[in-house]
Amino acid sequence: MLAARNNTKTFIDYRRASPVIGILFLILQLLLTGFFLFLCLAFVTGGPFVPSNQKSVTAMVKLARIKPGQTVIDVGSGDGRVLLEAAKQGANAIGVEINPYLVWFTQLRAFLSPYRGRITAVWGNLWTSDLRAADVVFVYLIPWKMDVLAKKLREETKPGTLIVSNTFIFPHWKIVRKDVKHHIYAFTISAQK
């Protein structure tokens, strides 16, 4: 009889805890739904979250030949790994990311890094972002958006701005530097826009 009572009491305790557990699971589901919604939105706008591997990130930053004090903008900055590498070289690194979860993650990574004063991650759309301050722009977009991005870059960046692209090229631009092994390509904005 005593064992049955203890089991009943345990069952009642679980039932009382279930609204709290249910609320926690609901919050978790909403957060995951939001994350996947923004992943889909990023794909539609041209920059789905596909993290660059560390070798590609290193190759991108090396190809950029960043000088201390330069401003680099990573459009579609994802989890901020390119920003961290650029900041190591002394750049003021700005990431534009459409997924707020990835922005928060990048901000946390930046805060915990020794380069926190040189890394900024903002929640925004690359198509409405202001790129005029950039000395270097990092991109990793889907191929059918490269022509549209080329037009935006020509209109908004200053002559001499270096554009470093992971995997995909701008079909009508001359490649000025490349790392064939890692599929990284660099282009320069000419004075003739």
Residue 117: predicted pLDDT: 92
Q: Which CATH architecture has domain 54-188?
A: 3-Layer(aba) Sandwich (3.40)
Q: Please answer whether residues 71 and 92 qualify as being in contact, where contact means their C-beta atoms are separated by less than 8 angstroms.
A: yes
Structure confidence at residue 39 (pLDDT): 67
Bridge partners, residue 95, by sequence:
74, 121
The structural domains of the chain, with segments of one domain joined by +, span: 1-45, 54-188
pLDDT score for 64:
97
Which residues lie closer than 8 Å to 117 by C-beta, 6 or more apart?
none
Question: CB neighbours of 124 closer than 8 A, spacing ≥ 6?
Answer: 96, 97, 98
Q: How does pLDDT run along the chain (193 residues), one tens digit per residue?
A: 445 455 555 454 555 556 666 777 777 787 778 777 766 666 666 667 778 889 999 999 999 999 999 999 999 999 999 999 999 999 999 999 988 989 999 999 999 999 989 999 999 988 899 999 999 999 998 888 888 999 999 999 999 999 999 999 998 899 999 999 999 999 999 865 5
Residue 137 three-state SS: strand
Determine the pLDDT at residue 88: 96
